[in-house]
Amino acid sequence: MKRSLGRLLAVWLVLSAAVFGANYQWSVLKSPASLRVEEAGVVQYQCTFSDSAAEYTIDFKPKSTEAYKVEVLTQRDRVTSGKRIQTFDVLITPLKTGELSVALKALVRHTTFASIENATIGRDNVKRYDFIDESAALPIVRIRAEENSADLTGQITLEAKIDKNMVRAHEPVHLSLYLRGKGNLDRFVPYELNISGVKVFAEAPQKNLTPSSEGFDGEIRQEFALVSEKNFVIAPFELSVFDTASRKMLTLKTSAFAVEVGEGYEPQMLLDPPDLSDGATLKRYGLYAALIVLGALLCETVRRLWKRRPRRRPKQFWDGAKSHKELAMLLALSGDKRYEEVIADLEEGRAGLSEAKKKLSTLHTPNEVSK
């Protein structure tokens, strides 16, 4: 009986080590007591294992609700004094006023060393790790969400610039609007600019943002091109912000810009009028004219010379004949009746080779190529 009990105990120890593995515990290290609506705050969760827990994985994908938005900002993993500690910085952004009860869950996945070994070696019947999943409820965090009527929340600056404040009619003025800092910059609504008598060309905002403990950090730039025939004024841009540093509502405002619009360009204004009273200018223009005439003359000369160039006569089949006999044979072989007289001249000695060749060239038109 004692032996059986001992065996049972041994089996239980092995199984508990293999199946249940290490213990773990979730805790909250840091959390804000209160936040404004749309103000992001960091809640720090920590999971502490009883040992190194190498066969554990935490799959933490918290879900947002109607009351708050939640995102994992950072995740750190370390082993201290033989214990594995995983820390998660979670960004909570309240969406409604009132008491928020943030109750998140994480999936704790436990595998075995045998499974790791099988999957690593790549045994035929093993495709991936085997896990035993367990849903862990994280400690509930309570945050008070206060009202916030500001357009944006965070530490934000607003700046507007124009490239010039004096233009000619139809010449564009470029207006650049910069929104910089940190906070919920992702909630920025692009400005719509309407100025009477001014054509406004607006570009989509260029966002250069990175996630941060305040929500987002970076810059948003919005560009406008303004075209008008008359003077106009660009009214100041306003933005209400809840400043998280001073915990106060602020109104950011840019300065107004008055743009003076002059007369438009006329075609003759685009070129400098030649100063004909200046001798150097006249000389320069004279040189230009001479160069044009000279170029035309040169082209005409080249054209005429090209026309008069010695044309290469098309190669004729009789060109290779080295004797009058050979020439007569080649001509007879061609079967062309036009050559009969030349053949007779050659055979009767009335014409030599060169004479006959000259005569033959007269029988063909310049463009005709003998067979």
Partner 1 sequence: MNTMINQIRTEVAKVVVGQEKMIDGLLIGLLCEGHILIEGIPGLAKTTTVKALSQTLGLGFKRVQFTPDLLPSDILGAEVYDPQNNTFKIKHGPIFTNLLLADEINRAPAKVQSALLEVMQERQVTLGDESFKLPPPFLVMATQNPIENEGVYPLPEAQLDRFMLKIKVGYNTPEEELSIARRVASGVNEAIHAVMDAQALIELKETVKKVHIDEEVERYMIDLITATREPERYGLAEIKRYLQFGASPRVSIDMFKAVRAEAFLKGKEFVTPSDIAAIIKELMRHRIVLSYEAEAEGVTADELIEKIIKAVAIP
What number of chain residues touch partner 1 (CB under 8 A)?
16
Q: Which stretch binds partner 1 (CB under 8 A): 42-50, 191-199, 275-283, 332-340?
A: 332-340
Binding residue for partner 1, selected from 332, 352, 359, 364, defined by CB under 8 A: 332
- Report how far residue 181's alpha carbon sits from residue 363's, in angstroms, rounded to the nearest whole number: 95
Q: Is 329 near partner 1 (CB under 8 A)?
A: yes
Q: Is 319 near partner 1 (CB under 8 A)?
A: no
- Report how far residue 94's alpha carbon sits from residue 72's, in angstroms, rounded to the nearest whole number: 15
Q: Fill in the amino acid letter for 261.
A: V
Are the C-beta atoms of residues 260 and 166 closer than 8 Å to each other?
A: yes
Which long-range CB contacts under 8 A does 356-361 form with residues at least 24 apart?
356/324, 356/327, 357/318, 357/319, 357/321, 357/327, 360/316, 360/318, 360/331, 361/313, 361/316
Q: Fill in the amino acid letter for 162.
A: I
Smallest gap from Cβ 315 to partner 1, in A, equals 16
Smallest gap from Cβ 359 to partner 1, in A, equals 16
State which residue, 12 or 317, has the beta carbon closest to partner 1. Answer: 317
Binding residue for partner 1, selected from 100, 226, 252, 343, defined by CB under 8 A: 343
Instruction: Give how far the C-alpha of residue 350 lies from the chain's centroid of Cα atoms, to the nearest Å.
Output: 88
Q: Which stretch binds partner 1 (CB under 8 A): 75-83, 207-215, 300-308, 330-338?
A: 330-338
Smallest gap from Cβ 367 to partner 1, in A, equals 13
Q: Is 368 near partner 1 (CB under 8 A)?
A: no
User: Around Cβ 29, how many Cβ atoms within 10 Å?
Assistant: 11
Q: Which two tokens stand for residue 202?
A: 């607006």
- For the chain, the residue count is 371
Q: Is 198 near partner 1 (CB under 8 A)?
A: no
The residue whose two tokens read 């409820």 is 137
Smallest gap from Cβ 311 to partner 1, in A, equals 23
Q: Which stretch binds partner 1 (CB under 8 A): 79-87, 270-278, 287-295, 335-343?
A: 335-343
Binding residue for partner 1, selected from 15, 233, 340, 363, defined by CB under 8 A: 340
Q: Is 315 near partner 1 (CB under 8 A)?
A: no
Q: Is 353 near partner 1 (CB under 8 A)?
A: no
**Planar angle of CA 272, 274, 275, nearest 5 degrees:** 120
State which residue, 145 or 346, has the beta carbon closest to partner 1. Answer: 346
**Coil/strand/helix, residue 269:** helix
Residues that bind partner 1 (CB under 8 A): 323, 325-326, 328-333, 335, 337, 340, 343-344, 346-347
